[in-house]
Amino acid sequence: MKINLIAFLIATIGLSPLYAQSEGKNIKIGLALSGGGARGIAHIGVLKAFEEYGIPIHYIAGTSMGAVVGSFYASGYDADSLETIFKTTDWFAIFSNKPERPLIPLSRRLNQIPAIFQLGFDFWKIELPEAALSDYRINRILIKYLSRAGFQAGRNFDHLPIPFRAVATDLKTGQRVILSRGNLSRAVRASISIPLLFPPVELDDLVLVDGGLADNIPVDVVKQMGPDLVIAVDVTSPPLERTMYQDIIGIANQLTDLLSSSRNMAYFQSPDILIKPDLHKHNFADYSKIDSLIAWGYEAAIKVVPQIKAHILHGMTNHKTTEQDKALSFDGRIIKTINIYGNRYLRQSIIRREFGLRIGEKFQLNEAIHGMDVVYATGFFKTCWLDFFPKDSSGIEIDLHVKEAIRRTIEIGLGYNDDDRAKGFLRFQNRNLFGWGERAQLNVYGSDAGAGLRIRVQGDRFWNIYLGYLVQFFLERNKPKFFQNHDYVNRAEFDHLGTKFLINVHMGRPGLFQGGFEIERVKIQERIGLNFAPQTDQLRKLKLALFWDSLDDLSFPTEGIKLAITYDWNLKKLGGIDNFWQLAFLFKAAFSFHKQHVLEPGLWVGLSDEILPVYEKFRLGGPYFMPGLHRDELWNNQVLAAYLAYHFHLKPRLRLSLLTSAGNSWQQRNAIRLNSLIIGAGASVEYLTPLGPIGISIGINKRGDHRVYFSVGF
């Protein structure tokens, strides 16, 4: 970083007389770090400047993001480590309530369309959410980086490498709460609980929210710790302009500012030295300019270095603990006790099973966090967190705290594409029907392509064995498009009424084997322009399927594999129409390189009897497997298609894609020829929104077909 050398020399020459007064005394320095959301990343730049010029810090107090940066530094992470942590954190994901996708049981991911809105209810009572954002991923990152130091300190923040205080606000009284002992990660989490955005934190008998409501620049708190010199870093957001509080985040921030201003004045005290970086109206919720924020903090600190140096004699001492010390005092202890707190309806045995750690095993923090991730991925909890206590000289007690999600919910999903137009669904769900994790759902959906109702009950596992079940009833009217020579003819109309029962055999988290049967009645309605005679068919199918899905994300995967092999066999002797079978193989993978670049190959093979009802035929078309054709334009008994896509991620939520493909469909298996594949190519741009991806793409093929596609959501 550039240093304003001239300003530095001038300031050094004009040292304050305080230098003479402090000569011969090694003074203690206290640091007060303010809140300010993403603006608080500038604190790292201030710490980098202090390290560079040998300025020691002996006490730290922080509010909100100041508590985050301050606690990390007090725990032994230097400024460079902090910079690495903040740069490698996925800030878009950290404010999301999505669990790690590969950890979700595969039976719950199959055909599950994410909702854009959810409302809880308890029979006739509406249950509103605590906050707009989930705190689970924030809990996770704080546990990961602060648990070791907090455990070593014996839950006393004075025993950290640098004594530390976190500031929160009592939601009941509005009074400032100074946190000096207990669970370090939980104390910091309380300090960043912005009302409306994040859930409050319950500690002992208090309900705590963001410390910025009461004391955003905790100078008074540092002074109580006994330093000789107090330095404050103020990254408080400037007053919001009217255009900046027109959404829920902006409104929450504006309310926080209005409610906290008078309370902050009551606690405010002036520091000996104030550092106020010029952050150029940087938005408190914008985590995209980490380098700039650190640089601005560094530049502001450099300007006051001479003033600080006038007070001190000795350089900075190393306050970091070694990785070996951390491991000896934390990891490697024997697990003596595992306690579960907070479950109301879900049986504790289910939680222990998913958590995975066992009494008598050696403790590893990463394994404990992974177990917590697995518990959260079940979908039964809105949040989880961990606490640790020593048990004798070599043991450890683990407390897993959970807060159950609302069991009964109403969920809404919306989408659009240029072929089916607007579409949506309404889903009523009970996510824990009998206390063993059974899910019951009633889905109602509709679009130009049809409408329907599905009722399903699903259990993932019986006791501790990897065996589950799915029972489903469905009533649907499918209205797919039919084309002739690329021209739209009409929509067919197939009415389905049936039920199916499947046994699920789980193969870890990513794998699933299914076997069962389906009983169905299908009515084919007469439609103008389509040569389908009205008739009613009875189907009696045996079903087998093998699934594997380790993709890290549904919309924008960067790694993993997705595989589906399904086999359906309709049997006439069981009451069905003609004997026929279908075998489908679908493969997709993602491989990332150089962070922003992803290769995605895909393959689809569909084989069947030549005697196949029209509503059972494979459908091929669309921007991936057959660019240039309408979605589902080709209907046939056999299909073969493959594509290779290249994705360039401009930003975490924005990507550009290029692809090439080859595919076709045939009536008979012996007609399949590689030289009859239709070669195509396409390009697209997609942006991830709360509705799902918004995408626009263009596709062409060697026959001269071309088409523009547009889609939103599922």
The per-residue pLDDT for range 26-77, each reduced to its tens digit, is 789 999 999 999 999 999 999 999 999 999 999 999 999 999 999 999 999 9
Name every residue whose Cβ is closer than 8 Å to that of residue 261 and which is 6 or more positions away in sequence: none
Question: Is 16 known to be catalytic?
Answer: no
Min mean pLDDT across 219-228, 235-244, 277-286 is at 235-244
Q: Which helix (H) or strand (E) holds 185?
A: helix 184-191
How far is CA 78 from each of CA 57, 69, 72, 573, rounded to the nearest angstrom?
12, 10, 8, 74
Q: Which of 34, 64, 75, 134 is catalytic?
A: 64
Domain boundaries, the chain: 29-97+133-311, 333-404, 408-713
Three-state SS at 385: strand
Q: Rounded to the nearest 5 degrees, what angle is found at the Cα of 492, between the Cα atoms of 486 and 494?
A: 145
Neighbours of 137 (CB within 10 A): 23
| pLDDT of 405 over the 60 cut | yes
CATH 2.40.160.50, applies to 408-713: yes
Q: What is the pLDDT of residues 151-169, one digit of tens each?
A: 999 999 999 999 999 999 9
Q: Which CATH number fits domain 333-404: 3.30.530.20, 3.90.650.10, 3.30.300.30, 3.10.20.310?
A: 3.10.20.310
pLDDT (0 to 100) of residue 1: 39
Asked whether the predicted pLDDT for residue 176 surpasses 70, the reply is yes
- Count how many Cα atoms sit within 13 Å of the Cα of residue 616 in the half-sphere of its side chain: 29
- The single-letter DSSP state of residue 463 is T
How far apart (Å, rounded) are the C-alpha atoms in residues 62 and 211?
9
Strands (E) across 123-163 are located at 125-127
Per-residue pLDDT at 132: 80
Q: Is the pLDDT of residue 17 over 60?
A: no
- Using 50, 70 and 90 to split pLDDT, how confident is the model at 466? confident
Amino acid at 615: Y
Residue 326: pLDDT band (50, 70, 90) is very low
Between residues 109 and 249, which one has the greater pLDDT? Answer: 109
Mean pLDDT in residue range 439-461: 94
DSSP-derived secondary structure for 330-399: TTTPEEEEEEEE--SSS-HHHHHHHH---TTSBP-HHHHHHHHHHHHHTSSEEEEEEEEEEETTTEEEEE
What's the pLDDT at 260? 66
In terms of Cβ atoms closer than 10 Å to its own Cβ (0-12, 13-18, 19+), residue 43 is buried
Sheet containing strand 381-391, edge to edge, reads 334-341, 395-404, 381-391
What's the whole-model pTM score?
A: 0.87
Sole residue written with tokens 């707009």: 132
Name the E strands within 392-510. 395-404, 408-417, 421-430, 439-447, 450-459, 467-478, 481-484, 487-491, 494-507
**Dist. CA 427–CA 443, nearest whole Å:** 4
Q: What is the pLDDT of residues 633-681, one digit of tens each?
A: 999 999 999 999 999 999 878 999 999 999 999 999 999 999 999 999 9
CB 211 within 8 A of CB 63: yes
Q: Is 665 known to be catalytic?
A: no
Percent of the chain with pLDDT over 70: 90
| Superfamily name with CATH number, domain 29-97+133-311 | Cytosolic phospholipase A2 catalytic domain (3.40.1090.10)
Q: What is the model's pLDDT at position 3?
A: 38
Mean pLDDT of the chain: 89
- Spot the catalytic one: 135, 185, 191, 210: 210
Do 506 and 512 meet the contact criterion of CB atoms below 8 Å apart? Answer: yes
- What is the spatial distance between Cα 224 and Cα 100, in angstroms, rounded to a whole number? 42
Strand partners of residue 584: 566, 606
